[in-house]
């Protein structure tokens, strides 16, 4: 029963062939076998208090620990939120509960979603289910690892600059970042509010469509949420006839692993074999995405993180001193190195005298990148790239070099800055540079804002043609 996709399980439940309670129970047992440090909290006996689901009617789900869950520990991967139990539940999670999806647990993540390897979690790194000496990607590394590692049928995460797509690629699963505003951010702990978006991490494209249908929608509690014009339907498209796919040469001419390039090129051939048209497009400003993102995201983060003062949430240190000392001690002990680095970068970029040179300039670049995509979409339906420049890298390999870490987001950040939807689907396996067992490679497809249905339809057709059915050793179906 655990080999079913969430859609298959849903259909079997609707037909009365699968008992939803037994199915949820079996997944709780599977989740209890977590040996990847992927869960920070597990709903073991189905007693999640306020987030409990009385009558399950859809597959249970793992939730990134960035979503507030009433009465249930919510840390965002940070020590500063140790012991925090929110008084309310995020809208995205509430929608899952109302759809009848039991919450299996809360998943490990980079602190406040800052990172690409999960090594910035205050609760230790998550291991990649394909190779436990490697990272699962980040920041939604826990959510990607539980789905890839057979510890949950599906999961939700958040993507600010690539945090759903990149870990999905590194764990061999599907990850979708919807259009900014498709899903409510209410109760999703803020990193960079103009970029943060919730989305699905699933075994396949149909599961992503079903999950998006549950999650999407306008929410009076988030004024930037508008939802999709129509709830997504399950895709069943078989070919790509009449669809035009653009390769952005300004991005793909940059160096990335030979094995990733090989899988990328083989996937382009599959697009053509399905009747899709390929072309080249120029996104002249997209290669400056990383530079703009690492000004804008830290700027917003420095403002959002001002609320952690030892008074309102989680931990407090230095309570024996005066108020200022207490603030300082709490933040010094509560935040990890990467979060401190971003707060310093952000406050610097926003300070008077530097604002125009850094923050203002980065906003202009962001506008240009969005315009580049709009121009590309006049001629093409989709823009395609590899999701990540490399397959999963070794634990500790990039922790000493923040710039090398930031370059993991080279292909994913431009879509985030433009607010457009993008999906990563597993496209094949490749040997890591330096040798070792073969690891999954992700293929990224981006579409115009609110064109999720077309994106899912095309991804589904391509997914069928790729026929990726590899699973990590020891995982059911592997
Ligand atoms: N890796 C990027 C960062 O560290 C993106 C993170 C994300 O999308 N949340 O900011």
Closest CA to 59 of 105, 17, 27: 27
Rounded to an integer, the average pLDDT of 28-37 is 96
Which sequence spans correspond to the domains of the chain? 10-243+377-466, 287-363
In 3-state terms, what secondary structure has residue 267? helix
What's the 393 CA to ligand 1 centre distance in angstroms?
16
Looking at the CA of residue 113, tell me the nearest atom of ligand 1: 9
Tokens 């396996």 appear where? Answer: 429
The pLDDT, as a whole number, for residue 477 is 54
Rounded to an integer, the average pLDDT of 410-428 is 98
Residue-wise pLDDT for 296-351, tens only, equals: 999 999 999 999 999 999 899 998 989 999 999 999 999 999 999 999 999 999 99
Catalytic residues: 64, 139, 163
Residue-wise pLDDT for 268-298, tens only, equals: 999 999 999 999 999 999 999 999 999 999 9
What's the 419 CA to ligand 1 centre distance in angstroms?
15
Residue-wise pLDDT for 348-407, tens only, equals: 999 989 999 999 999 999 999 999 999 999 999 999 999 999 999 999 999 999 888 999
- Band (pLDDT 50/70/90 cuts) for residue 478 is very low
Looking at the CA of residue 294, tell me the nearest atom of ligand 1: 10
Q: What is the DSSP string of 102-167?
A: -EEEEE--SGGG--SSSTT-TT-PPPBTTBTTB---SSSHHHHHHHHTTS-SEEEEEESSSTTHHH
- Which of 109, 115, 119 gets mutated to test ligand 1 (max ligand atoms within 8 A of its CB)? 115
- Band (pLDDT 50/70/90 cuts) for residue 46 is low
What's the 267 CA to ligand 1 centre distance in angstroms?
26
Decide yes or no: CATH 3.90.1300.10 for domain 10-243+377-466.
yes
% of the chain surpassing 90 pLDDT: 94
Cis peptide before 249, with omega less than 30 degrees from 0?
no
Ligand 1 proximity of 118 Cβ (cutoff 6 Å): no
The pLDDT, as a whole number, for residue 17 is 97
Ligand 1 proximity of 161 Cβ (cutoff 6 Å): yes
Ligand 1 proximity of 117 Cβ (cutoff 6 Å): no
Cα distance between residue 309 and residue 30, in whole Å: 38
Cα distance between residue 81 and residue 93, in whole Å: 19
DSSP 8-state class, residue 435:
-
- Which of 297, 387, 416 gets mutated to test ligand 1 (max ligand atoms within 8 A of its CB)? 297
Ligand 1 proximity of 160 Cβ (cutoff 6 Å): yes
pLDDT at residue 255 is higher than 80 = no
Name the token pair of 216.
Answer: 């999407």
Cα distance between residue 291 and residue 394, in whole Å: 25
- Which of 65, 113, 415 gets mutated to test ligand 1 (max ligand atoms within 8 A of its CB)? 113
Ligand 1 proximity of 115 Cβ (cutoff 6 Å): yes
- Which residue blocks in 255-412 are alpha helix, DSSP H? 258-273, 289-304, 323-334, 337-350, 361-379, 402-406
């Amino acid at each position: 029963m655990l080999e079913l996709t969430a859609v298959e399980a849903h259909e079997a439940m609707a037909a009365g062939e699968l008992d939803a309670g037994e199915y949820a129970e079996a997944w709780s047992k599977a989740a209890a076998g977590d040996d990847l440090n992927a869960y920070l909290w597990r709903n073991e006996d189905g007693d999640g208090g306020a987030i409990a689901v009385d009558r399950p009617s859809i597959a249970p789900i793992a939730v990134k620990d960035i979503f507030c869950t009433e009465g249930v520990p919510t840390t965002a991967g940070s020590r500063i939120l140790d012991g925090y139990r929110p008084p309310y539940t995020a809208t995205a999670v509430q929608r899952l509960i109302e759809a009848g999806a039991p919450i299996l647990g809360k998943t490990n993540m980079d602190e406040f979603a800052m990172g690409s390897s999960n090594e910035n979690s205050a609760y230790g790194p998550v291991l990649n289910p394909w190779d436990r000496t490697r990272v699962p990607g980040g920041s939604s590394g826990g959510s990607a690892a539980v789905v890839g590692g057979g510890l949950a049928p599906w999961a939700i995460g958040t993507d600010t600059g690539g945090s759903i797509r990149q870990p999905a690629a590194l764990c061999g699963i599907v990850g979708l970042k919807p259009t900014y505003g498709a899903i409510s951010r209410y109760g999703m702990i803020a990193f960079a509010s103009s970029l943060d978006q919730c989305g699905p991490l699933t075994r396949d494209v149909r599961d992503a469509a079903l999950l998006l249908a549950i999650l999407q929608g306008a929410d009076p509690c988030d004024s930037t949420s508008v939802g999709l014009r129509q709830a997504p339907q399950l895709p069943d498209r078989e070919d790509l006839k009449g669809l035009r796919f653009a390769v952005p040469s300004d991005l793909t001419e940059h160096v990335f692993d030979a094995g990733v390039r090989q899988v990328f090129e083989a996937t382009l051939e599959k697009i053509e074999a399905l009747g899709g048209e390929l072309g080249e497009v120029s996104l002249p400003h997209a290669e400056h995405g990383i530079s703009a993102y690492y000004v804008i995201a830290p700027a917003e983060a420095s403002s959002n993180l001002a609320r952690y003062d030892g008074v309102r949430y989680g931990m407090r240190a230095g309570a024996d001193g005066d108020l200022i000392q207490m603030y300082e001690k709490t933040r010094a002990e509560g935040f990890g190195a990467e979060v401190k680095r971003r707060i310093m970068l952000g406050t610097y970029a926003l300070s008077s005298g530097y604002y125009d040179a850094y923050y203002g300039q980065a906003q202009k670049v962001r506008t240009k990148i969005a315009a580049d995509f709009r121009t590309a979409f006049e001629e093409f339906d989709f823009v395609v790239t590899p999701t990540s420049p490399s397959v999963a890298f070794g634990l500790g390999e990039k922790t000493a070099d923040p710039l090398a870490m930031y370059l993991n987001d080279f292909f994913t950040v431009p879509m985030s800055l433009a607010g457009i939807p993008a999906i990563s689907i597993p496209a094949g396996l490749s040997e890591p540079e330096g040798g070792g067992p073969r690891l999954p490679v992700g293929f990224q497809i981006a579409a115009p804002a609110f064109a999720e249905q077309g994106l899912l339809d095309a991804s589904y057709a391509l997914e069928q043609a790729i026929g990726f059915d590899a699973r990590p050793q020891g995982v059911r179906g592997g």
